[in-house]
Amino acid sequence: MDFELRATEPSDYDTIATWIQDAVSCSRWAGPLVPFPFSARELPELLSVKGGSSYSLAAGNNRCIGFGQFWVVRQGSVHLGRIIISPEARGVGTGRLLCKKLIAKAIQETDAARVTLRVYRDNAPALSLYSSLGFAIIESESTDKLLLMSASNAEQGVMSAD
């Protein structure tokens, strides 16, 4: 099946809202600024980040099966956030595909040389995915709970969309 990274459409938020079933998974996905429960209608506003871009991974029938955002934190550095895959589509490589496409899009749009993201230390699937993509933990900018991870052009494979 072909998967396309496209701009998030209003109806995608209804789909994404069904993937979040409890407060813990909500916080792991979107951080402390998105309360649980929320209504799908509120999501665009709750997820809005100044200067940020939102993208969805769509399956062949245009059905949204993944979502992620990026925004520039400082010149030359772009930050990824709110990465999520539909629960039914997890564990078969979809998250890796979404990340690669999102990274490629973020670099193309911002011309950043460095990509960062934050992940909770206890989020094993996400931590494993990001590590395997070449992201390294920056301990000096991490806390007991939340890791800052970074990758740059120097790290092989991170910036390629293949």
Q: Nearest to ligand COA by Cβ — which residue? A: 95
Q: Which residue in the set 84, 102, 115, 158 belongs to the binding site for ligand COA (CB under 6 A)?
A: 84
Stretch that binds ligand COA, among 49-57, 94-102, 105-113, 147-155 (CB under 6 A): 94-102
94 near ligand COA (CB under 6 A): yes
Q: State the nearest-atom distance from the C-beta of 35 to ligand COA, in Å.
A: 17
Cβ 75 vs Cβ 82: under 8 Å: no
121 near ligand COA (CB under 6 A): no
Strand 53-58 with 77-85, pairing: unpaired
Q: What is the dihedral sign for C-alpha 64, 25, 51, 135?
A: negative
Stretch that binds ligand COA, among 42-50, 57-65, 82-90, 145-153 (CB under 6 A): 82-90
68 near ligand COA (CB under 6 A): no
157 near ligand COA (CB under 6 A): no
Q: Which residue in the set 43, 57, 119, 159 belongs to the binding site for ligand COA (CB under 6 A)?
A: 119
The DSSP line for 25-73 is HHHHHH-TTS-SS--GGGHHHHT--TT-EEEEEE-TTS-EEEEEEEEEE
CB atoms within 10 A of CB 134: 19
Q: State the nearest-atom distance from the C-beta of 5 to ligand COA, in Å.
A: 14
Q: Residue 143: which H helix or E strand, with range?
A: none
63 near ligand COA (CB under 6 A): no
96 near ligand COA (CB under 6 A): yes
What is the C-alpha separation between 109 and 99, in angstroms, rounded? 15
If we measure between CA atoms, which residue out of 85, 37, 30, 28 comes closest to residue 57? 85
